Amino acid sequence: MPHSARGATLASLALLLAGCVSLGTPSAPPPERAERAPEDRDEAATLVLANVFQSMQRLVQSAPAEQAELLAEARAAYERAPQGSAQLRYALLLATPGHPARDPVKAQTLLRDLAASPESIVPIERAVTLVELAQLDRELGLSAENERLQGELGHSDNDHDRIVAMQRRLQAELDENSKLRKQLEEAEAKLDAIAKIERNAGERRTGDGGRGP
């Protein structure tokens, strides 16, 4: 999927989920602070993801030096706290197409770890994690299949080359045998001619000896 479409998909998902989180029931009484804690986490995560999506866009559009700086900051944050939002941010930047340091395999590993530990992220982050992971799984699966097919094609080409070489050697041997047969036939013809001459000469000598002087 192109990076613009992927970013739009993730951004739309984040906004949709954020909207769902912010919707309340008019008749319900205001919740207590403790009851609003999960909602506050979702709202905070939405802001974090919005910042991540902006970073993904900058990563594609910026110069190499800024790209390296963005990734270095994300990696440092992940190394300080290798879980949760920091891990998701680093994974999404690594998965973003269009920059030389892209590493979809590492991004896939990070996202799989997050998907296996859903308690470390809030629902909106889990949704983004699963969407991006599904896209990477498909991309890497297609890449592996393409490599396999190219490998098989390479083997087929090698087999074809070996067959062609064998055919050439076989044809060379046939040509050589044909040449030898022709030489043998010429030699047999010469021997036949010599034998005929000798028979004729012997017949003449026998005839001359029978008549006498």
Q: What pLDDT score was predicted for residue 60?
A: 87
Q: Residue 124's closest CA among 34, 13, 4? A: 13
As a whole number of angstroms, the distance between CA 126 and CA 129 comes to: 5
As a whole number of angstroms, the distance between CA 88 and CA 69 comes to: 18
Q: What pLDDT score was predicted for residue 29?
A: 40
pLDDT tens track for 5-53: 555 556 555 555 444 444 344 434 444 444 445 667 777 878 888 888 8
Q: Residue 21's closest CA among 4, 56, 45? A: 45
As a whole number of angstroms, the distance between CA 55 and CA 99 comes to: 12
| 94 and 133 Cβ atoms separated by less than 8 Å | no
Average pLDDT, the chain: 75
Residue 33 CA from chain centroid, whole number: 51
SS3 24: coil
Q: What pLDDT score was predicted for residue 27?
A: 37
Q: What pLDDT score was predicted for residue 26?
A: 41
Q: What pLDDT score was predicted for residue 211?
A: 55
User: What DSSP string describes 52-74?
Assistant: HHHHHHHHHHS-HHHHHHHHHHH
Q: What pLDDT score was predicted for residue 90?
A: 95
Q: What pLDDT score was predicted for residue 23?
A: 38
Distance (Å) of CA 164 to CA 35, 39, 154, 158, 213 = 77, 70, 15, 10, 73
pLDDT tens track for 159-170: 667 667 767 776
Residues in the chain where the model's pLDDT stays below 70: 1-39, 152-160, 162-163, 166, 170, 173-193, 195-196, 198, 205-213
* Neighbour-count burial for 66-85, b at 16+ CB within 10 Å, e otherwise: ebeebbeebbeebeeeeebb
**pTM of the predicted protein model:** 0.58
